[in-house]
């Protein structure tokens, strides 16, 4: 490995075997980051993605489990020798109408919050000493337009994203100036899991008809925003909407 390759920045992208996370991993690799691909279920997809990138490794871990989140970070640093960027993309949801209060059981809440909120927190805490040592460390969290509007696939999911956005601001204030913390909040993005959802088609049609950019988002749109925030040296504590202008309607 050449000296320049050894000093190239390292990005850990959680939940990156498919969808937005995979697009983020690919875009960062194009920008000469060395990549840690992660998932808990789609192991084969994650391994294939890592193998397709110039300098990447796949590490399986469930970041909702504290010990596994910590080990993921430790293994990433052991493999590459450093960590410069953490992208918290791992998340889950359930499709539950907001009016169906009974269906949003405590078990559903615990499942969603455990990964989306607590998983984001404990992975960030584990990564923070390494990000501080980087000299230009950054965190980019993946939120959703549902974090600031009464929208989203379920109430627990929307609440989890609101929590991530406030966590972003609180962390930015706590760890600056050594580490920057920002978030990207996508609108409707066509990913494999959402494409088959019963609510996708009608919402997609509304987006195409009424938003200023007249199209549904792509994972690559979010990835470009993540890359921008990763390099935005004077930006922290921000939540960047990537929604084609849906917030304007």
Please tell me the distance from the alpha carbon of residue 239 to that of residue 185, in angstroms, as a whole number: 6
Cα–Cα distance, 92 to 185 (Å, whole number): 15
* Token pair recorded at residue 183: 């978030």
Helix (H, G, I), strand (E, B), or coil: what is residue 135? coil
Integer Cα distance of 25 and 23 in angstroms: 5
Give the C-alpha distances (Å, rounded to integers) separating 117 from 89, 124, 207. 11, 11, 28
Residue 158 phi/psi, 5° resolution? -60, -40
User: Based on the number of CB atoms within 10 Å of its own CB, is 99 exposed (0-12), middle (13-18) or buried (19 or more)?
Assistant: exposed
Alpha-carbon gap, residue 29 to 56, rounded angstroms: 8
Distance, in Å, from the CA atom of 224 to the CA atom of 242, rounded to the nearest integer, reads 10
The answer to whether residue 58 is catalytic is: no
The answer to whether 55 and 5 have CB atoms below 8 angstroms apart is yes
Q: Which of 33, 121, 157, 200 is catalytic?
A: 157
Tell me the catalytic residues: 157
């Amino acid at each position: 490995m050449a000296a320049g390759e050894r000093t190239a920045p390292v990005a850990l992208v959680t939940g990156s075997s498919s969808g937005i996370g995979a697009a983020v991993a690919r875009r960062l690799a194009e920008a000469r980051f060395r990549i840690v691909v992660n998932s808990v279920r789609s192991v084969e997809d994650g391994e294939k993605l890592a193998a397709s990138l110039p300098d990447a490794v796949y590490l399986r871990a469930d970041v909702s489990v504290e010990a596994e989140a910590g080990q993921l970070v430790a293994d990433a640093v052991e493999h590459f020798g450093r960590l410069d960027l953490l992208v918290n993309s791992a998340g889950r949801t359930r499709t539950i109408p907001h009016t169906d209060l009974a269906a949003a059981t405590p078990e559903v809440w615990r499942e969603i919050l455990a990964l989306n909120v607590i998983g984001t927190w404990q992975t960030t805490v584990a990564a923070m000493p390494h990000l501080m040592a980087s000299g230009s460390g950054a965190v980019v969290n993946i939120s959703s337009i549902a974090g600031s509007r009464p929208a989203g696939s379920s109430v627990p999911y929307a609440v989890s994203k609101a929590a991530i956005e406030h966590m972003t601001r609180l962390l930015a204030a706590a760890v600056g100036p050594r580490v920057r913390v920002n978030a990207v909040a996508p609108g409707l993005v066509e990913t494999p899991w959402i494409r088959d959802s019963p609510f996708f088609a009608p919402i997609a049609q509304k987006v195409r008809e009424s938003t200023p950019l007249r199209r549904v988002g792509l994972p690559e749109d979010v990835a470009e925003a993540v890359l921008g925030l990763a390099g935005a040296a004077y930006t922290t504590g921000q939540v960047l909407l990537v929604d084609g202008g849906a917030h304007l309607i």
